[in-house]
Structure 1
């Protein structure tokens, strides 16, 4: 059992590379001007100022929103503000960040470019839909344990609709036909709902930027993921690898564009991640009030 657990953890690391790039791309309320980034122009200062930017990549234009929009230090509680840049393991994290970037440059980016060259966008969309649907049982359990019964019901409805009408999750009629939006929740989110702190900032091998709570969440979910119950090894590992490559392929160009324009890429990506965590914590507090 220990041997199988170690093998599974390694596969999770290899398949989970997509969690690294880029900073939060989810549009937040209050975004201001949208600027197109020309060659050699730095987008980081605009993102930090709360502006959405449009990057020119090999995949065309990609919009990137800042990690924090219209959120000031005074809006964050003292605990969040004090830990916003908590990085006591910076030496280790920088080394791991450099290792990950080399892995992206020389291994994962060429693989993802080949993946995009072979499979057209509609097929890649179906691959992404399949793995998102396969994760719904995890979302459901985490929402139940977090006390979010309504969201758990949404997870169940989406899973049943997409697994049947959506042909085993290859399509997403739950969103497009029934307007049932995803309600994702991880083990890390569940722990946070019970007051478990994020812990120090941590860069994981290939998995990238996280924190102690998030790292535990990703590794644990990798071991109990539903994909482990629909296939045996080595097919399980192959499926997880495809999942990782598919997600990374959608983000790699944006990551490399931001990396190349940053004066200190480690600091930039770290701060965007920690600011995003602070933003999410603030919004969750407002929702619970």
Structure 2
């Protein structure tokens, strides 16, 4: 055996030994969040945002306990799966300049105003009470869902909205309780203006981030603004009581998402792209399943 051959063998042994050494993650790497999947060893290395982007259910640990988040990653086209970043590059975002600026403004507002307010609301309001408050505000919106279902030609769902509103307003004590579901088997039949427009084939339009109200698209933003103007709370109360009730409604709704938003924002490499992709994929999924199946 020549000296060159001996040296080559020694180098190969050294290289194979180095390759087998485990990689030590940097100290500032976010703690992994496990997902409910059969391959736990693989998922243990993924953050929550990565798990959701790959189509897995993620579980986030908060001070209020565990929160499970279902993925919205859906691609109906028959082509090789693309990562979140690749999908972001493929999407034409004509309003990106406005959207990024508004997204940054919203994050600042959420971080220093709404999230502390939501956490304070959670601290002073027990979960059962928050649940009843949420029921009451959902009940107030039943007439609006009924009108949207009528406009969409969903007469059965419109009848469900009317029945739920009458039952929960009376037997359910102004909607604090939900006997319509528990006793009369009348599940919610929510319908927004955006849902009705989608049913008539109105395209969602470009992605659009609204101040405070958050991400949406042109179709959804039209729905949000219209429903704010048609808010039943404003029809049955007068200022300033209207503003107080709408404020409580907003904080109650936001409190359910505040901790999840914080965690996903912290873990996302580009939070704007990540939240945009999740929203767009959710719209694509909803539009697909709302269309009549052939």
Q: Please indicate the TM-score interval, normalised by the length of the shorter structure.
A: 0.7 to 0.9
Whether the 8 Å CA contact 2:198–2:287 is kept in 1: the answer is no
Give 5+ residue unaligned stretches, structure 1: 1-30, 76-80
How far off is 1:195 after superposition? 1.7
1:246 alignment counterpart: 252
Unaligned runs of 5+ in 2: 1-35, 80-86
Deviations 1:172-193 (CA, angstroms, capped at 9, x unpaired): 1112222321111111111112
**Most deviating of 39-48 and 90-99:** 39-48
Post-superposition shift, 1:33? Answer: 5.0
1:234–1:196 distance in 2 versus 1, CA, 3 Å: same
Which residue does 1:232 correspond to in 2? 238
The within-5 A match list for 1:117-136 is 117-136=123-142
CA distance in 1, matches of 2:39, 2:134: 28
The structure whose RCO (Cα within 8 Å, separation 6+) is larger is: 1
**TM-score for both structures, normalised by structure 2:** 0.80
Task: Look up the match of 1:19.
Answer: none
Cα shift at 1:282: 1.1
Deviations 1:241-289 (A, max 9, x none): 100000111110011001100001100000000000001111112x453
Q: 2:212 aligns with which of 206, 216, 240?
A: 206
Distance verdict in 2 for CA 1:277–1:134, change over 3 Å? same
Matched position secondary structure for 1:74: coil
Measured after TM superposition, the shift of residue 45 of structure 1 is: 2.1
**1:111-260 → structure 2 map (5 Å cutoff):** 111-260=117-266
1:86 shift after superposition: 3.7
My pick for the range that moved more, 262-271 or 42-51, is 42-51
- Is 1:275 the counterpart of 2:281? The answer is yes
Q: C-alpha offsets along residues 198-251 of structure 1, whole Å, 9 cap, x if unaligned? A: 110000000000001111110111011111121101111111110000011111
Provide the residue aligned with 1:48 in structure 2: 53
Kindly indicate whether the alpha-carbon contact (under 8 Å) linking 1:136 and 1:155 is maintained by their aligned counterparts in 2: yes
Kept in 1, the 8 Å contact 2:199–2:290? The answer is no
CA separation of 1:41/1:58 partners in 2, compared to 1, >3 Å: closer, same or farther? farther
Find out whether 1:74 has 2:70 as its counterpart: no
1:10 maps to what in 2?
A: none
Aligned residue pair count: 251
Cα distance in 1 between the residues matched to 2:58 and 2:173: 36
CA contact (8 A) 1:34 1:53 kept: no
CA 40–223 in structure 1, closer or farther in 2 if over 3 Å, else same: farther
Mark the CA change 1:181 to 1:166 in structure 2 (over 3 Å): closer, same or farther: same
Instruction: Tell me if structure 2 keeps the 8 A contact 1:41–1:261.
Output: no
Q: Tell me, in whole angstroms, the C-alpha distance in 2 between the residues paired with 1:102 and 1:186.
A: 29
Question: Match of 2:104?
Answer: 98
Seen in structure 2, the aligned counterparts of structure 1 residues 190 and 126 have a Cα distance that, compared at 3 Å, is same
Structure having the higher Rg:
2
Q: In structure 2, what is the equivalent of residue 284 of structure 1?
A: 290
Distance in structure 1 (CA, Å) of the matches to 2:290 and 2:222 = 21
Pairwise CA distance, 1:127: 0.6
Aligned Cα root-mean-square deviation (Å)? 2.5
What does residue range 12-27 of structure 1 map to in structure 2 within 5 Å?
none
CA distance in 1, matches of 2:53, 2:256: 23
